[in-house]
Amino acid sequence: MADLSTTFLGIKSPNPFWLASAPPTDKAYNVERAFEAGWGGVVWKTLGEEGPPVVNVNGPRYGAIFGPDRRLMGLNNIELITDRSLEINLQEMTEVKKRWPDRVIIASIMVPCEEEAWKAILPRVEATGVDGIELNFGCPHGMSERGMGAAVGQVPEYIQMVTEWCKKYYSKPVIVKLTPNITDVRYPARAAKAGGADAVSLINTINSIVSVDLDNFAPVPTIDGKGSHGGYCGPAVKPIAMNMVAEIARDPETAGLPISGIGGINTWRDAAEFISLGCGNVQVCTAAMTYGFKIVQEMISGLSEWMDEKGYESIDDFMGLATPNVTDWKNLNLNYVTKAKIDQDLCISCGRCHIACEDTSHQAITNMVDGLRKFEVIDEECVGCNLCVNVCPVDSCITMEQISGVDPRTNKEIDPNYANWTTHPNNPSAVTEPAE
């Protein structure tokens, strides 16, 4: 039986599944329910500075986009950081940590970008006995208008500065949570590292308007006829998050910097993918907000079964295995030739592969063979693009198969050797030896 336990920044967790800083981790009641359900850790909902509590809107806070059957694919929110008093949060964190010593509690913090503010709060957090802190440099709405959250995360110099203060006034691990609302995520990651961060976590939510109410022409969620951009999360953001994780994992300047992966993790498989890209653990929010805390049981069982099947005994065994395989386009092997293959036994004859290829791609799939409705790949036209695989409603019905010998499309012999764009004759900057 695979061992799912992790030691991330020296913090032991029974499994790699943590709840991200968000409404599910707002108070002791929720957090203890999460621990009872089996979550390995939580990042407590972001604490603000001492003073009058944060004020939230009193109208709707969430908006969503849906897949078939109203399956929630993307969620956005305009909720702010915790609106409970700092004192109560710190007290509950202390008590819960005492009651659940084998689980992880990380305190998420967002206070003004002034050293005094951080100096004031950090000792109080340290006193709770929680395992570490996460700096909320990502929240893209509301708080960012006040110079906090994403407003800090979008300026690498600020990230480094605040991280340095934290390392100065706090003795346990410091995780910097990054915003995706930036052109190149490597810069804030490098700044975090330069500031002494023990890890980065990403992504925070993405600026978004999920829909417009066409009756009153206002963004959803609508507050008295107006809407503000929210922070977008859920399954829809996973590809964006994974790319950013990979960018940091394979950046020589940040290589080896521990990463806590966040963004659209919905099942064990999503978690395994993030870990394979170099994450030491993962944080989940939307899936729990959609289905409740019990989903962690599926995540634990799925990851465990898969690891057993593959022979991985610990999370470390497959952590980062995909990182070296993320490369630049120019390094891809242009002599790797594939053709789509349709399994006629699995085909349900919906014709979507045909029409997608016919209308929008390479006219490489029939819809009629010998007068019968039949979908077959025309190898002479197929460029192996994979669109048909992606539009087919049946899993594994269409596969991409590598071919060798003569490519029927080009009538040319396929060179069995690796060759990429860097040496391609059509490349005006071609070199003689491949770049990789």
Partner 1 sequence: MSEADFATRDIRTGRLDQIDYENNFEDLHAPLTRHEATVEADRCYFCYDAPCMTACPTSIDIPLFIREIAAGNPSGAAKTILNQNILGGMCARVCPTETLCEEVCVREEAEGKPVKIGQLQRYATDHLMATAKEHPFKRAASTGKRVAVVGAGPAGLSCAHRLATHGHDVTIFEARAKSGGLNEHGIAAYKTTHDFAQLEVEFVLSIGGIDIQHGRALGADISVEQLRNEYDAVFIGVGLGNTNNLGLDGENNDGCLDAVDYIEKLRQTDDLSSLPVGRDVVVIGGGMTAIDIAIQTKLLGAENVTIAYRRGQEGMNASLYEQELAQTHGVVIRHWLQPKALISNNQNQITGIELEYTAQSDDKLSGTGETVKLEADQVFKAIGQKFDSSILTEAGIELEARRIKISADGKTSLTKVWAGGDCVAGGEDLTVASVEDGKVAAESIHAFLTR
User: Given the rule CB under 8 A, which residues bind partner 1?
Assistant: 68-70, 348-352, 354-355, 367, 373, 393-394
Q: How far apart are CA 129 and CA 103, in angstroms?
A: 12
Q: Which residues of 183-217 are buried (b: 16+ CB within 10 A; e: fewer)?
A: eebbbbbbbbbbbebbbbbbbbbbbbebbeeeeee
SS3 label, residue 46:
strand
* Closest C-alpha to 203, from 182, 173, 187: 182
- Give 351 or 408: the residue with its C-beta nearer to partner 1: 351
Token code pair at residue 308: 């057993």
Q: Which helix (H) or strand (E) holds 306?
A: helix 295-310
Nearer to partner 1, 143 or 340 (CB): 340
Catalytic residue among 113, 139, 357, 397: 139
Beta carbon of residue 340, minimum distance to partner 1 (angstroms, whole number): 16
| CA–CA gap between residue 73 and residue 88 (Å, rounded) | 34
139 catalytic per annotation: yes
Nearer to partner 1 by Cβ, of 216 and 349: the residue is: 349
Nearer to partner 1, 220 or 350 (CB): 350
Distance from C-alpha of 334 to C-alpha of 176, rounded to nearest angstrom: 39
CA distance linking residue 36 with residue 209, whole number of Å: 35
The answer to whether the beta carbons of residues 30 and 296 sit under 8 Å apart is no
Rounded to whole angstroms, the Cα distance separating 120 from 138 reads: 21
Tokens of 378: 């025309």
Residues catalogued as catalytic: 139
